[in-house]
Amino acid sequence: MDMKETFLRRTQIFDGHVVHLFVDDVRLPNGGTAQREIVTHAGGACVAALTARNELLLVRQFRYAFGEELLEIPAGKLERGEDPFEAMKREQREETGTRSDRYVSLGVTYPTVGYDDEKIYIWACRVTEPAGDQDLDPDEFLEVEKLDLWEAERMVMADQIRDGKTQIAILKTAALVRAGQL
């Protein structure tokens, strides 16, 4: 079955700092037409950084869209033309003051596929330079917390950690460590 939808016409609604919004007219597989509301986003990169004792570095941050503080792995939006791997290392350094000399790719996640083209690239690592200070943007407020990896996995399973990229990164990292691959 051909399920492809074909672009016909695009109307730009908004061109913001983070969100870009379009309404596209598309041709459906059955010959009809429909409109698709599409958010475009630069994408993001994040890292599950573990200490030698299997402690995961998390950042606690107020997320305005939810009115809640959330526990997340260090992450950030890609700058224009930025390589996701470089963006991830930058965010790790700025948010946690740590680096590593080896990273394992945990692949990509498409967070919300119905109306948004965002892709988030995920890595895991062992922290090799635990020293260093945070280097945050002036309007960035977050706290670093260490959490035992197995406790983090239990919290994901128990619905106590809700950020999607963090859920995926923790479950994949736990599987790798269990298999002796990280």
C-alpha radius of gyration, the chain, whole number: 19
Q: Which of residues 9, 10, 28, 151 is near its own copies by CB under 8 A? A: 28
Check residue 139 for interaction with its own copies (CB under 8 A). yes
> Considering only residues 9, 10, 13, 150, which one is a binding residue for its own copies as defined by CB under 8 A?
13
Question: What DSSP string runs through 22-89?
Answer: EEEEEE-TTS-EEEEEEEE---EEEEEEE-TTSEEEEEEEEETTTTEEEEE-SEEEPPTT--HHHHHH
Candidate residues 10, 34, 83, 129; the one interacting with its own copies per rule CB under 8 A? 34
The window from 46-54, 64-72, 83-91, 124-132 that contacts its own copies (CB under 8 A) reads 64-72
Q: With binding defined as CB under 8 A, does residue 112 bind its own copies?
A: yes
Is position 165 an interface residue for its own copies (rule: CB under 8 A)?
yes
Which residue in 8, 10, 37, 79 binds its own copies (CB under 8 A)?
37
Q: Enumerate the β-bridge partners of residue 33.
A: 27
Binding residues for its own copies, how many (CB under 8 A)?
Answer: 71
For the chain, how many residues are written?
182
